[in-house]
Every structure is written in C-alpha cells, then in structure tokens.
Amino acid sequence: MTEKLRLMAVHAHPDDESSKGAATMAKYVAEGVDVLVVTCTGGERGSILNPKLQGDPYIEENIHEVRRKEMDEAREILGVQQTWLGYVDSGLPEGDPLPPLPEGCFGLVDVEEAAGRLVREIRSFRPQVVTTYDENGGYPHPDHIMTHRISMAAFDGAADAERFPEAEFGPVFQPAKLYYNQGFNRQRTEALHEALLARGLESPYGDWLKRWEESERTERTLTTFVPAADYFEIRDKALIAHATQIDPDGGWFRIPMEIQKEVWPTEDFELAKSLVETSLPEDDLFAGIRDNG
C-alpha cells in the first residue's frame, strides 16, 4: 500500500470517540495512520454524569464550551484529528409517552442535508475506512441513530457527483470499507463476567446479562477483532478527559486492566460494507486495502 492510510470515525457526541474504538484509533495513529474523528453534535444536552461535578454553576451555564475543551484534551491524548459537523445535541428523551425532540436538534435534521456535510468531510479527508454505529445506534439515542443514517448516506453519496455536485462538495471519493462499532457486545461481556467470578471478584455485568437474556435483542455479527490491548490505558485516559461525563471512580473502570488485557485484548467491529475482498474474521480494519494499493 503506497497511499497513506486514513481512518474516519463518525460519532454523535464528544466522549463517544473515547468509549467506542478509542484504543483502535490510538493503535493506528501509532502505526502512522491518519485518523479523523467527526463529531456530529456539541453534546450540549448531555447530563453531567460525574457526581463530583454536578451542581457546579459554571459547568451548567457553559456546558457547550466545557465539552469542547474536554474534546480537545481527549483528541490530544489519542493523537487524532477532530472536526465538528455543527449540529445541536438532541438529548435523550425520557418518559411514557416520550416527549418530542427539541426543535432544531440533530435528531430532526434532514438526512440528505446532514449527509452532505459529512460528504464534504469524506471528500476532503479521503478515508479508506469509515466507522460508525449500527441501525440501532448502539443504543437508541436519537443522535446515534441519526449518525448511522447520515453515515450510510454519505458513504455512498461521497462517490456520487450527481447527488452531491463536485462544485459544492469537492471531488468525489469512495471509501472502501464501512464498519459498525460493536465494543459493547455480549461475547465480551460474558467473558469478562466469567473471568471476574472465577477470580473471586465482583462483576458489574450480572444485571447487564440478565437484561440481555430477558430482552429480544438480536445478537450482532462480529467480524473484526483489532488487537488493541497495548492502548487500553490511552483509551481510559482519553475517556477520563471527558470529566463531565465520566467518573474516574465509577463503573467504567471496575475491571482490572490486567484482566481486560488477558481475557479480551481486542476492540470489536462489524463489517457493514466492503468494496474490497477480505476474509472473515479480520484483525485489521484495513484488511484487503493494505495489499491493494
């Protein structure tokens, strides 16, 4: 492969890039791959989840600015590039029935218009690989679902000069592969749960697995397992940089690092589209691309 390898990760909010595929991005950065995170919203309606920062009037009044600064710090830690698509966080509606989404939010935008913004980024950056969320958003947040919808539209649309004219959106480009982040999968959760119990340790996953059993949730097909254990510490450091969202003493960090690395040393993805030949399972998002340059 003579052409520079480039990976684009499309995420809904600041902090999503650090909780989904962050170690994989850090690994590729270390290998010389150019990595760009596209953040669709500013995370303005995200709750302050870190109990140590709840009730801080400055944070509450300046949450947009605070979350941008957190994103800057996480970006530096991961070594990636990052850009904002410019939409407003929809928030996570709660209640029965669910309230309507707020006017002007990302979850209500025209898919084609938002896909056009992402097409500009794809045509400018020219990534061979794009990662995003599956049709359920990973979980049913309206911004995650919209991120999926515009990513699918832009993956194909970036190569369509009639749909997105070059004069407005830049020279056409077709990425080769599209993946869904599937880090929170049942196989990994069960493996870590059993490993903790076998060592006489408490597992935080018991209730998760019980809800999984009771739900009718369809299991996703994992196709790609990227060895990334050497970058788990960087992943956690980037996640902690999103201080309003992550409690460093909370549940994200209950699994001892040595157990994570031993039991499940990969980050996992689902290959959704590929325009190159590849053999499954993969251990590289660029499988089929490195040898075809």
Beta bridge partners of 271: 179
Burial of 112 (0-12, 13-18, 19+ CB in 10 A): middle
What is residue 141's three-state secondary structure? coil
Residue 95: other Cβ atoms inside 10 A:
6
Residue 82: other Cβ atoms inside 10 A:
19
Q: Which CA distances in Å does 41 have to 35, 166, 240, 243, 262?
A: 19, 25, 19, 18, 35
Sheet holding 224-227, edge to edge: 81-87, 34-41, 6-11, 129-132, 177-181, 266-274, 224-227
16 annotated as a binding-site residue: yes
Give the phi and the psi of residue 180 in degrees, each rounded to 5: -100, 135
144 annotated as a binding-site residue: yes
* CA–CA gap between residue 88 and residue 102 (Å, rounded): 10
What is residue 76's three-state secondary structure? helix
What is residue 286's three-state secondary structure? coil
Containing H/E element for 8?
strand 6-11
230 annotated as a binding-site residue: no
Answer yes or no: are the C-beta atoms of 254 and 204 closer than 8 Å. Answer: yes
Residue linked to tokens 């600041």: 14
* CA–CA gap between residue 174 and residue 63 (Å, rounded): 36
Residues of each annotated binding site:
13, 16, 144
| Residues of the binding site for Zn(2+) | 13, 16, 144
